[in-house]
């Protein structure tokens, strides 16, 4: 039986671990498992797939598992999926709360560039936390940074050492004071590459610089980018389109258009007109006639 946290994980998910059978009877077990891993690799992972993230790789592996459900082992009448389904009904249920396997790094110092270094990769946090200590939850696919118990940054875990994962929003407070640093910033380059800094952002920025100059135009853009902290990205993008349509590059105009869009989205739909979908009663004027009589006008 395995000991410590490993055994606890197994028990948490409803099964126990045990060693292979001793002697000749169990000598084939390890080789059989390794052979199945090799078969799966040769069938589904050759040539080596090219993916952009662990999430994309997991989707690919899950699709391969579904294909293997139809496979028959050693001419057995039942498929792999059918045999797994038969075992499923006698398995213990999963726990109500999933086991949290993330590693907790209790004290990580933020450097002067607003980054934490975790497993030799760098991740941005809000630059106001520079030189402070934060906590990090490190999972297999995601990394969370916490300050005073609150999540302040969330990143997909890097697959390579020495990389930088920077979020443009983390640096806006500094860029608002130093807008000239925005065009050449790594955070902007990554936002462009990911699509977070979209074509409408580019158009708004170009129009703002053409009208106001580089510094003032960039400051106007940063004012719009700050709206993303409290409004959904599609709302802000639509508001930028609306502002450009009326010839404005004022971030306050973009904010007004965004609030109008949210108000329209939240307003209840009331049927109007006299068609079959109108559920309101036909208006009556008797009350107005009574007012005219009472006022001596009729």
Confidence of residue 262 (pLDDT cuts 50, 70, 90): confident
pLDDT digits (tens, 9 = 90+) for 118-148: 999 999 999 999 999 999 999 988 999 999 9
The model carries a pTM of 0.69
The pLDDT > 90 percentage for the chain reads 60
Residue 12: in which H helix or E strand, if any? helix 4-12
Domain locations along the chain: 23-88, 103-165, 171-266
> pLDDT at position 270, please?
56
Greater model confidence, 213 or 19: 213
pLDDT digits (tens, 9 = 90+) for 67-114: 999 999 888 899 999 999 998 888 877 778 877 888 888 899 999 999
Round to whole Å and give the CA distance between 93 and 6.
19
pLDDT digits (tens, 9 = 90+) for 151-209: 999 999 887 889 999 999 999 999 999 999 999 999 999 999 999 999 999 999 999 99
> What are all long-range contacts of 55-58, with beta carbons under 8 Å and residues at least 24 apart?
55/141, 55/156, 58/141
Q: Say which residues have a Cβ less than 8 Å from residue 110's Cβ, sequence separation at least 6.
A: 116, 125, 129, 130, 131, 132, 133, 134
> pLDDT at position 256, please?
94
Contact 224, 240 (CB under 8 A): yes
> pLDDT at position 265, please?
75
Q: Lowest mean pLDDT: which of 22-31, 72-81, 242-251?
A: 22-31
Confidence of residue 271 (pLDDT cuts 50, 70, 90): low
> pLDDT at position 2, please?
37
Residue 32: in which H helix or E strand, if any? helix 29-44
Q: Say which residues have a Cβ less than 8 Å from residue 68's Cβ, sequence separation at least 6.
A: 40, 80
CB count within 10 Å of CB 133 equals: 12
Confidence of residue 1 (pLDDT cuts 50, 70, 90): very low
| Mean pLDDT in residue range 273-297 | 63
Confidence of residue 268 (pLDDT cuts 50, 70, 90): low
**DSSP code string of 135-162:** EEEE-SSEEEEEETTEEEEEEEPPSSTT
Round to whole Å and give the CA distance between 75 and 78.
9
Round to whole Å and give the CA distance between 279 and 224.
42
Greater model confidence, 244 or 27: 244
CB count within 10 Å of CB 236 equals: 25
- For the chain, give the mean pLDDT: 86
Residue 212: in which H helix or E strand, if any? helix 199-212
Q: Are strands 142-147 and 150-156 parallel, antiparallel or unpaired?
A: antiparallel
Greater model confidence, 99 or 42: 42
């Amino acid at each position: 039986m395995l000991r410590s946290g490993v055994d606890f994980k197994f028990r948490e998910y409803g099964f126990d671990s045990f060693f292979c059978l001793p002697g000749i009877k169990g000598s084939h077990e390890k080789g059989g498992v390794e052979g199945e891993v090799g078969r799966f690799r040769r069938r589904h992972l050759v040539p080596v797939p090219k993916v952009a993230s662990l999430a994309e790789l997991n989707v690919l592996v899950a699709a391969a598992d579904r294909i293997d459900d139809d496979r028959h082992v050693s001419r057995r009448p039942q498929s792999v999926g059918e045999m797994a389904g038969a075992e499923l009904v006698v398995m213990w249920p999963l726990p109500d709360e999933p086991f949290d396997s993330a590693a907790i790094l209790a004290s990580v110092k933020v450097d002067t560039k607003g980054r934490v270094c975790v497993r030799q990769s760098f991740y941005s946090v809000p630059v106001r936390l520079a030189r402070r200590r934060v906590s990090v939850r490190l999972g297999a696919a995601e990394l969370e940074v916490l300050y005073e118990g609150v999540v302040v940054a969330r990143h997909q875990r890097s697959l390579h050492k020495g990389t930088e994962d920077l979020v443009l929003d983390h640096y806006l407070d500094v860029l608002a004071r130093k807008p000239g640093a925005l065009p050449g910033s790594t955070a902007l380059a990554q936002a462009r590459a990911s699509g977070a800094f979209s074509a409408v952002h580019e158009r708004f920025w170009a129009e703002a610089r053409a009208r106001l100059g580089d510094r003032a135009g960039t400051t106007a853009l940063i004012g719009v980018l700050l709206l993303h902290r409290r409004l959904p990205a599609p709302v802000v993008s639509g508001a930028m389109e609306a502002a450009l349509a009326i010839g404005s590059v004022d971030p306050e105009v973009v904010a007004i258009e965004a609030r109008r869009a949210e108000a329209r989205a939240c307003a209840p739909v009331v049927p109007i007109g006299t068609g079959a979908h109108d559920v309101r009663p036909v208006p009556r004027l008797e009350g107005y006639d009574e007012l005219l009589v009472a006022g001596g006008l009729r």
